[in-house]
Amino acid sequence: MEAFRKSSDRSLTEKLKSLIQEFITHENSRCRLIALKYTEAFLSSDDIDLRWMLLQSCGDNRDEIRNEASRLLDVSLRMRISIEVVITYLWDHLCADIIDPETGKEKTSSSQAFSPLVHQMCSRYLWSLLAHLTGAHVDLKTNEGGDDWMELAPKIAQQIKKLPGSSQERLTRISLQALKDAHEVPLFHIAACFSAACPLSGPSVALANVCIQRARGTTRSDMANVATHLATSLMNKKELESAMPAAFSALEKVVMIVSHFFELRIGLH
């Protein structure tokens, strides 16, 4: 692998990349894993195609392949790459999975070509790239705590504001799409930050309903808070008036559970 990393033979490099691309989707999981490992030889470049292959591998059905792809994406963060180039590239590959080109409507998870895990990792990857632009070093699996996220989000929002309007909107759409099958708080934090920097031009009932479901179905106050916030930002006034009772009911349930937990804890001592 070291020989390939140091090779200056462009034709050899391109041939190896083609082989990686061929075997990284092979039906044999061992072939996919070996192909993945060879991508590390090229991560010192700003090759976006290789990063896209890694992002797709994050949706693999094998844990070891997903973990290796995630590790390699973390390695790739050491190399500076244009955030605008990445946003444009990812949008070009994901847009047909987000918005139906024929109807112009949002696609459901069941009709998507890519695994929800791919959409989720794309959101995390963009967050990490933006974090690196602020001088912070965030890996893809960091579970941002409340304090860390609150400190980093304004800095990332400032970076987003420097981007062209089209890039800002694409960031928001990619991060919101990642929520459809997500249950991890950091993904909701990412979407909240991106959508605060660049709100969607119109309401999204489907995504708002996802957020309401998460708020109602969680026992975590941080999830309930961020999901409720996102839901309200994704609805128009009429939808908001009809949905808010359910959202507030979810928050009330969380408060009751937390209060009961502390009562039990106090009773034990």
Contact yes or no for 172/94 (Cβ under 8 A): no
Say what the pLDDT of residue 142 is.
Answer: 63
Contact yes or no for 58/121 (Cβ under 8 A): yes
Our count of domains for the chain comes to: 3
Residues 46 and 70 in one domain: yes
Q: Which domain holds residue 225?
A: 204-257
Backbone region of residue 25 per phi and psi (left: phi > 0; alpha: psi in -120 to 50; beta: other values): alpha
Residues 72 and 169 in one domain: no
Closest to 106 (Cα-Cα) out of 9, 176, 171: 176
Say what the pLDDT of residue 260 is.
Answer: 47
Residues 175 and 130 in one domain: yes
Q: Does 262 fall in a domain?
A: no
Instruction: Tell me the pLDDT of the chain (269 aa) as tens digits.
Output: 544 455 555 676 677 777 887 888 888 989 899 888 888 877 878 889 889 999 999 999 999 999 999 999 999 998 889 999 999 999 999 998 888 787 777 777 677 789 999 999 999 999 999 999 999 888 887 655 555 778 889 999 999 999 999 999 999 999 999 998 999 999 999 999 999 999 887 767 788 888 989 988 888 888 888 998 888 888 765 655 565 565 555 545 544 544 444 444 434 44
Domain boundary among 201, 218, 239: 201
Residues 183 and 216 in one domain: no
Tokens representing 177?
């799409």
Q: Does 268 fall in a domain?
A: no
Burial of 153 by CB count in 10 Å (0-12 exposed, 13-18 middle, 19+ buried)?
A: buried
Domain boundary among 26, 51, 79: 79
Residues 196 and 98 in one domain: yes
Contact yes or no for 161/186 (Cβ under 8 A): no
Output the pTM of the full model.
0.82
